[in-house]
Amino acid sequence: MKTAVIYYSSHHGNTLKIAEKFSESFEGNLFEYKDVDGYNTVEYDLIGFGSGIYHGKPANEFLEFLDELPDVKNVKAFVFTTSGRGSEKYNIPLKEKLEEKGFEVVGEFSCKAFDTWGPLKIIGGKNKGKPDENDFRRVKEFANELKERLNF
Ligand SMILES: Cc1cc2nc3c(=O)[nH]c(=O)nc-3n(C[C@H](O)[C@H](O)[C@H](O)COP(=O)(O)O)c2cc1C
């Protein structure tokens, strides 16, 4: 299965760390969203799409990138976000946009990550050291479960 991971990460590189672990686990290509020509996405069997969360949602630039993707058939996707709260609900806009384009969304992942946004800076931020080894283990488990389910 040809796999790619495409990410947006601007605050502390948290989402990039998770994206790197996903690309290692799937032995796939890793791309920052800016470097992707959306029309190449049709070449893949599975693509992971991930972003940090800014003001309650994935980055506007990343959502715009998804809006500009071509319609696809037979391409599976999984989504992931990193945020201060770590809520899985933050994945919803990613899932919705990808499904509009015809992707089959087969999984989602979220985790808490280092956050120094706004007043948090004064107290040195929260979730220091995250994502950590435990999150990377969860990434690996997620990837292994997905590979098994999709007969990789
Ligand atoms: C401008 C800004 C707004 C943020 N808003 C939220 C938010 O609404 N909810 C939340 O849980 N985390 C929020 N965060 C924390 C980030 O989602 C978190 O640090 C994330 O891991 C950043 O990913 P990155 O390092 O890959 O950019 C915000 C961070 C910044 C810089």
The average confidence (pLDDT) of the chain is 96
In the prediction, which pLDDT does 120 show?
87
What one-letter code names the amino acid at 10? Answer: S
What is the rounded CA–CA span in Å between residue 88 and residue 27?
Answer: 25
**Chain CA centroid to CA 3, Å:** 13
Mutate to test the pocket of ligand 1, among 6, 11, 128 (most ligand atoms within 8 A of CB): 11
- In this structure, what DSSP letter does residue 115 have? B
Quickly name the fold that domain 3-149 has.
Rossmann fold (3.40.50)
Closest Cα partner for 17 from 125, 133, 144? Answer: 133
Q: Where are the domains of the chain?
A: 3-149
How does DSSP assign 88-99, residue by residue?
Answer: GGGGHHHHHHHH
Q: Using CA positions, which residue lies closest to atom 31 of ligand 1? A: 117
In the prediction, which pLDDT does 122 show?
87
For the chain, which residues score pLDDT lower than 50?
none
In the prediction, which pLDDT does 47 show?
98
Q: What residues line ligand 1, using a CB cutoff of 6 Å? A: 9-16, 52-56, 82-85, 113-115, 117
> Ligand 1 centre and the CA of 58: distance in Å?
9
Q: Where are the beta strands (DSSP E) in 26-140?
A: 29-32, 46-54, 57-58, 76-83, 104-112
> Ligand 1 centre and the CA of 11: distance in Å?
7
